[in-house]
Amino acid sequence: MKMIEVKNIRKSFGDLEVLKDVSFDVEQGDVVAILGPSGSGKSTMLRSLIELEKVDRGEIKIEGETLCTNGVYAPKRKKRAILNKMGMVFQHFNLFPHMNIRDNLMCACLCSKQGTKKELEKLAEELLAKVELSDKIDAMPAQLSGGQKQRVAIARALMRKPDIMLFDEPTSALDPELTKEVLNVIKQLSREKMTMLIVTHEIGFAVEAANKIIFLDGGYVAASGTPDEVVNNSGNERIMSFLDKVM
């Protein structure tokens, strides 16, 4: 089943056209690594999927439902239902600093009455156990390391039971020795067949964990395919020089 269909999307910030013509599909259970030079529109593309940026042209479908066509978005209720299928994890974690970890996880679910307090508390405990942070449930975000914060952010996104997870450079703000613990959680999700899109500079991780790579450059998809096709056998010079720099 197609989880995401993106057709010819375009997006400008003022005069700057960031996405010029981007199309791709994501199947159920795909782990897609999005690579590309800085400023190539990776974040903009990812954020467009969850409506943090509005695209000007083209079509986005999530699980067969149309989020937008040529700048026209689905009506509020339907849009909300579509967006609820996705969770997102940011480079800078964006935990709520004034709440402890338990409330960070439960806040949004309580707001939308996703379950009773008891059920949600149980779910929060399960998910924290999954990211190996059970002992931090009463801690405040400021008391955690970067890697721990990011794992909490992942658990928080999972509280909403998304079908698709979007990661925007989840390890770029972390010290090298902390990236592994976050990547391990993502790998665990991939074993559970979670559909994921991950913007990353960790080529090794992309090759190992992703089954598909999209290489963005200058607002276009410069290459896409299996890691082997894109990384090892691509004749594309831009990709080669990019890989040289980051590997």
Contact window for other proteins (CB under 8 A) among 34-42, 105-113, 188-196, 229-237: 105-113
Contacts 24+ apart (CB under 8 A), 199-203: 199/34, 199/42, 199/43, 199/46, 199/167, 199/168, 199/169, 200/33, 200/34, 200/35, 200/167, 200/169, 200/170, 200/171, 201/35, 201/169, 201/172, 201/246, 202/171, 203/35, 203/231, 203/243, 203/246, 203/247
- To ligand ADP, the closest distance from the beta carbon of 41 in angstroms equals 4
With left for phi above 0 and alpha for psi between -120 and 50, is residue 36 left, alpha or beta? left
Residue placing its CB nearer to ligand ADP in the complex, 44 or 150: 44
Cβ atoms within 10 Å of 204's Cβ, excluding its own: 11
- To other proteins, the closest distance from the beta carbon of 87 in angstroms equals 7
Residue placing its CB nearer to other proteins in the complex, 86 or 197: 86
Judged by beta carbon distances under 5 to 8 A according to partner kind, the member of ligand ADP, Mg ion, other proteins, none in contact with residue 71 is none
* Site residues (CB under 5 A) for Mg ion, limited to 16-45: 43
Query: In 3-state terms, what secondary structure has residue 8?
Result: strand
Selected binder of other proteins within 34, 50, 144, 213 (CB under 8 A): 50
Judged by beta carbon distances under 5 to 8 A according to partner kind, the member of other proteins, Mg ion, ligand ADP, none in contact with residue 78 is none
Phi, psi of 17 (to 5 degrees): -85, 110
Selected binder of ligand ADP within 31, 32, 40, 170 (CB under 6 A): 40
Q: Which residues bind ligand ADP (CB under 6 A)?
A: 13, 16, 18, 36, 38-44
Q: Which residues bind other proteins (CB under 8 A)?
A: 50-52, 80, 83-84, 86-88, 90, 92, 94-98, 107-108, 111-112, 140-142, 156-157, 160
